[in-house]
Amino acid sequence: MSIRILVTDGMDASAMETLRNDGFEIVEKFYEPAELGTALRDFDCVIIRSATKIKEPQIDEAKGSRLKLIIRAGVGVDNIAVSYAQANGITVKNTPNSSSNAVAELAIAHLFSCARYISLAGHTMREHLWEKKAYSKGFELEGKTMGVIGYGRIGRLVGKKAQGLGMNVLSVVHRNKPEGCECETMHFVSMDELLAQSDIITVCAPGAAEGPIISAEAIAKMKDGVVIINVSRGSNVDEAALLDALNSGKVKAAGIDVWMSEKEPNWTLAEHPAVSCTPHVGAGTKEAQKKIGKELISVVKEFFA
């Protein structure tokens, strides 16, 4: 019997072709949550991205079947009930090494957009408006301090790129301190120090179980006119608190790629003139998808060897 793999949210075409040529049966189909659990019973492996959620109800329907492996084509696995799946004999894997640079570059792109009004100025020009005076009040990044919350693979790349732009970088270490990071332009500090000293705060941390990292209380500790960039998880930022801070001027601008809800994003926040926004496209580069495809092949072949 061949190994059957369900791909629900798309996958690099060449990677799928490689798996097919190696004897794996690939089925591409998206299932609604109510139908997904039953469908999973007919597959040995499912590969998902961010659109598909595999939580306790889906696992309850799939457990005891041929399903043995769930792979998240990306970094975060908060759309999967990982512990529950593993307790029911289903292994969960991800591809943590492939999309980090793409996400880090998007964070910097949003920062440039916030600093120089690129998104808004471009929009007004498409409406045949010449607003040079309004958008000639930007700021330069050189010499600014960026606080990076979450100094893992993505956070370290964001920090390195920020340093390359002449910025100073701060981060917080909660567990193991990464080696070789600290230098004249990069230091680990407490969270309160990071919030108080940073001109820009970029969130790269996994989803926080205890609530948003960027809360109203956290924003109150920040500099006036701070810029906030979120390329991590929508749940890491209290969207209502951020909107209030943008309206009051406490937060000068925000760059947002991730949202509390992807089915119904906070349109009021997205429409705010001080917000640079994208619809969760952090890993959305040709290079990243190729790398994710190769990593998926390795995970599948190693597991079913």
Pick the catalytic residue from 56, 217, 262, 287: 262
| Separation of alpha carbons 153 and 132, rounded Å | 38
Q: List strand residue ranges (DSSP E) for 180-280, in order.
A: 186-188, 200-203, 226-230, 251-256, 275-277
Active site residue 280: yes
Report the candidate in 95, 45, 12, 47 with the shortest Cα–Cα distance to residue 304.
Answer: 45
| Separation of alpha carbons 255 and 23, rounded Å | 43
Question: Helix (H, G, I), strand (E, B), or coil: what is residue 161?
Answer: helix
Type of residue numbered 100: S
Pick the catalytic residue from 4, 116, 187, 280: 280
Active site residue 187: no
Pick the catalytic residue from 49, 233, 272, 295: 233
Q: For residue 280, give both structure tokens.
A: 């969760």
Q: CA geometry: angle at 288 spanning 278 and 233, to 5°?
A: 45
Q: For residue 207, what are the contacts with CB-CB under 8 A and spacing of at least 6?
A: 76, 78, 232, 233, 235, 236
Q: For residue 2, give both structure tokens.
A: 């061949």
Active site residue 262: yes
| Residues designated as active site | 233, 262, 280
